[in-house]
């Protein structure tokens, strides 16, 4: 099943909700970066949260998420936009530990708990909006919840999960975000808190084949969900040969000439998707003619 995201309202418009399946998207990231299970879970949870937060944007708006928890995985960086496109990487993709005391992948140990979660939004204004909060859990779902509540001041609950197969491929991934809108009554709040305390982990729901719509029914209760919009989700990088070429041109004639004389060629690799771009001596000489 192709990944997709749903936007919805709950409890007669008192609650805003998002749910997404990201199994293929996280799988693409895993294959491109050769992530080991714990790193896959950390990156996958961040990609899942990122694509849902991107869906809160409009038009050409986009955002960047940076998780720096001080753990052995290093930095997690995720880009997402309003079109369901997301990309990301971790500094140390081959990070893995034994299961934690709950029998789950030890994401907290990999991410660390001494650092920050930063979100930068480019919404077409002269200056970007930036919000930053301390890492409070390292499990990431709780950290994104804390960010939305603290930095954006919207009462929220974020659930993100990734299950990994024995061969390191992705078995299941997905998530949800529930947000209370101004004026939500106490009865609704109590009902949602009660359901959140009883539902099974999000990754289990995905593994069992629940769709994003069914996930929201699990979280909010059957009959309490009104689907507004559905959109496809995918791992999508914005890099291209042309962009890399332009980056080389921006180095200037002298720098390109130096590369030609010392290396005779050039190879650039995109951090986000691991795609490699090779430029021969003749191609570099063409770029040199264009450069200043």
Q: What is the pLDDT of residues 56-84, one digit of tens each?
A: 999 999 999 999 999 999 999 999 999 99
pLDDT: is 251 or 126 the higher one?
A: 251
The pTM score is 0.91
Q: For residue 246, is pLDDT > 90?
A: no
pLDDT: is 165 or 126 the higher one?
A: 165
194 HSE (CA, 13 A, CB side): 7
Crossing angle, helix 212-220 and helix 186-198, to 10 degrees? 120
- Enumerate the domain spans of the chain: 4-235, 241-290
Q: For residue 158, is pLDDT > 80?
A: yes
> What integer pLDDT is reported at residue 174 of this predicted model?
96
Q: For residue 29, is pLDDT > 80?
A: yes
The per-residue pLDDT for range 171-184, each reduced to its tens digit, is 999 999 999 999 89
Distances (CA, A) of 183 to 13, 180, 267: 10, 8, 56
User: Are 192 and 179 contacting, i.e. CB atoms less than 8 angstroms apart?
Assistant: no
Alpha-carbon distance of 256 to 208, in angstroms, equals: 54
Output 152-160 pairs: Cβ under 8 A, ≥24 positions apart: 154/179, 154/180, 155/179, 155/180, 155/184, 156/180, 157/192, 157/196, 158/49, 158/52, 159/201, 159/202, 159/219, 160/44, 160/45, 160/46, 160/48, 160/49, 160/202
Closest alpha carbon to 107 in 48, 20, 166, 44 = 44
Domain 4-235 in CATH 3.55.30.10? The answer is yes
Q: Using 50, 70 and 90 to split pLDDT, how confident is the model at 242? A: confident
Q: For residue 270, is pLDDT > 80?
A: yes
Alpha-carbon distance of 108 to 106, in angstroms, equals: 5
> What integer pLDDT is reported at residue 106 of this predicted model?
94
> What integer pLDDT is reported at residue 69 of this predicted model?
96
Alpha-carbon distance of 49 to 65, in angstroms, equals: 9
Alpha-carbon distance of 89 to 147, in angstroms, equals: 20
The per-residue pLDDT for range 210-223, each reduced to its tens digit, is 999 999 999 999 88
> What integer pLDDT is reported at residue 134 of this predicted model?
97
What's domain 241-290's architecture? Alpha-Beta Complex (3.90)
Q: Which of 141-145, 202-206, 261-265 has the highest mean pLDDT?
A: 141-145
Q: What Rg do the C-alpha atoms of the chain give, in angstroms? A: 21
């Amino acid at each position: 099943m192709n990944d997709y995201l749903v936007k919805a309202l709950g409890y007669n418009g008192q609650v805003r909700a998002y749910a997404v399946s990201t199994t293929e998207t996280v799988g693409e990231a895993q294959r491109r970066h050769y992530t080991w299970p714990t790193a896959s879970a950390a990156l996958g949870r961040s990609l899942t949260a990122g694509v849902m937060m991107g869906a809160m944007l409009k038009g050409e708006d986009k955002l960047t998420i940076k998780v720096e928890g001080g753990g052995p995985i290093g930095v997690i960086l995720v880009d997402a936009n309003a079109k369901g496109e997301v990309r990301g990487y971790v500094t140390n993709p081959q990070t893995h530990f034994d299961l934690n005391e709950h029998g789950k992948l030890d994401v907290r140990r990999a991410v660390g708990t001494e650092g920050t979660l930063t979100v930068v939004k480019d919404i077409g204004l002269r200056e970007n909006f930036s919000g930053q909060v301390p890492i409070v859990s390292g499990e990431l779902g709780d950290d994104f919840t804390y960010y939305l509540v603290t930095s954006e001041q919207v009462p929220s609950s974020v659930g993100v999960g990734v299950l990994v197969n024995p061969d390191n491929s992705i078995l299941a991934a997905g998530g949800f975000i529930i947000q209370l809108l101004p004026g939500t009554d106490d009865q609704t709040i109590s009902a949602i808190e009660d359901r959140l305390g009883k539902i099974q982990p999000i990754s289990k729901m995905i593994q069992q084949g629940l769709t994003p719509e069914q996930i929201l029914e699990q979280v909010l209760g059957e009959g309490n969900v009104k689907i507004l919009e559905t959109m496809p989700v995918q791992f999508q990088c914005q890099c291209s040969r042309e962009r890399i070429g332009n980056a080389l041109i921006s180095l200037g004639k002298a720098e390109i000439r130096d590369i030609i004389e010392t290396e005779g060629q050039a190879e650039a690799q995109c951090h986000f998707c691991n795609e490699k771009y090779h430029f021969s001596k003749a191609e570099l000489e063409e770029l040199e003619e264009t450069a200043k």
